[in-house]
């Protein structure tokens, strides 16, 4: 399988030379009737039920809803690590269902950053090396890679902890390493599954400020799953899930958001 030489300036559609270049769209992400069914027959479980959703470049979206409502499933499909049972998903106009497993991996490698629920850092591997990981798969030369990883670590305030392994770091620090790893490749879109799930409110606020800064200054699109309303207010837009469906999809009133943020600081 041959891939085109990929640069950060490239459009995803250009990676797949065989794909017809889709018409340029405003939407970074477009879900049409996305359905995810787990299991078969009697045991079949509809985790997502005909979801329609568009996310524009630069948006900061919070996905909310009770446990088991399908938020993580939706995020995993967005992140191309899971595939929908039915429906179409276009990423910058490229229809993801038509891509091979390796093509989807290339999409993740070059355009997506993932902050997993529960960090998923590599054990017994230093923070710096964890952050370097996406760059290794991008075949970046070792020296440049190290520099970029250090930059990302300082962006999350961990430059002093570069050589420590995850087991030597606190939960908040581990989460920040995970964030550094997600943003080090300068992705189009950052996907975060409950990034503040295991953290106290002070640490959570720090993390949210950090995400907000990436969104505002580096114009990285962010989709974040959370069940905490205090975190959701940082987003521009809140989507509520229930039983695999979207029940509300609303823009945040930024006047209110900003004052609330001021209060929480």
Partner 1 sequence: MMLWETYLLAQRTILRNVLRSSLTILGIVIGVAAVITMVTLGSGATAKVTSDISELGSNLLHIRPGQGMRGPGGARSRADDFTIEDATAIKNSVAGLKAVAPISDASSQAIYGSANWATSVTGATNAFLTVQGWQVADGRAFSDGELKAGKGVCLLGNTVRKELFGNESPIGKAMRLGKISFKVIGTLKEKGQSNFGNDQDDIVIIPLRTLQRRMAGNSDVRTIIVSVNDGVSTEVVSSDIEALLRERRGIKSGQDDDFHVRNMKELIDTLTGTTTVMTALLSAVAGVSLLVGGIGIMNIMMVSVTERTREIGTRLAIGALEREVLMQFLVESVVLASFGGLIGIAIGLCAAAIGAQLIGVPFVFRPGIVAAAFFFSGAVGVTFGYFPAKKAAHLDPIEALRYE
Minimal distance in Å, beta carbon 82 to ligand ADP? 9
Q: Say if CB 187 and CB 215 are below 8 A apart.
A: no
The least distance separating partner 1 from the CB of residue 103, rounded to whole angstroms, comes to: 10
Per CB under 8 A, does 40 bind partner 1?
Answer: no
18 binds, among Mg ion, ligand ADP, partner 1, none (CB under 5 to 8 A by kind): none
Q: Distance between CA 89 and CA 74 in Å, rounded?
A: 11
Select from 18, 24, 40, 101 the one that contacts partner 1 (CB under 8 A): 101
Other residues' Cβ atoms within 10 Å of the Cβ of residue 17: 10
Nearer of residues 203 and 227 to Mg ion, judged by Cβ: 227
Interatomic CA distance for residues 158 and 156, integer angstroms: 6
109 binds, among ligand ADP, partner 1, Mg ion, none (CB under 5 to 8 A by kind): partner 1
Q: Which of 20, 33, 38, 229 binds ligand ADP (CB under 6 A)?
A: 38
The Cα 234–Cα 251 span in angstroms is 11
CA dist., res. 78 & res. 224, Å (int)? 11
238 is a contact residue toward ligand ADP (CB under 6 A): no
Q: What is the rounded distance in angstroms from the CA atom of residue 218 to the CA atom of residue 221?
A: 9
Which residues of this protein are in contact with ligand ADP, per CB under 6 A? Answer: 38-39, 45, 47, 65, 67-73
């Amino acid at each position: 399988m041959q891939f085109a030489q990929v640069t950060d300036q490239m459009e995803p559609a250009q990676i797949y030379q065989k794909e017809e270049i889709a018409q340029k769209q405003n939407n970074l992400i477009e879900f049409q009737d996305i359905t995810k069914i787990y299991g078969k027959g009697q045991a079949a479980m509809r985790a997502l039920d005909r979801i329609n959703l568009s996310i524009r470049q630069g948006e900061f979206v919070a996905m909310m809803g009770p446990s088991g409502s399908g938020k993580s499933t939706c995020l995993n499909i967005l992140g191309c690590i899971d595939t929908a049972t039915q429906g179409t998903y276009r990423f910058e106009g490229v229809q993801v269902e038509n891509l091979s497993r390796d093509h989807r991996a290339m999409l993740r490698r070059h355009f997506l950053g993932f902050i997993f629920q529960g960090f998923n850092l590599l054990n017994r591997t230093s923070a710096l090396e964890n952050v370097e990981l996406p760059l290794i798969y991008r075949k970046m030369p070792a020296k440049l890679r190290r520099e970029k990883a250090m930059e990302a670590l300082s962006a999350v305030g961990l430059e002093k902890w570069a050589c420590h392994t995850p087991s030597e770091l606190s939960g908040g620090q581990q989460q920040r390493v995970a964030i550094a790893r997600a943003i080090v490749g300068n992705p189009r879109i950052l996907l975060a599954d409950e990034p503040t799930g295991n953290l106290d409110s002070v640490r959570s606020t720090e993390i949210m400020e950090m995400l907000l800064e990436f969104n505002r200054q580096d114009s990285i699109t962010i989709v974040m799953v959370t069940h905490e309303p205090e975190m959701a207010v940082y987003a521009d837009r809140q989507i509520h899930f229930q039983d695999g469906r979207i029940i509300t999809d609303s823009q945040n009133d930024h006047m209110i958001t900003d004052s609330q943020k001021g209060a929480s600081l």
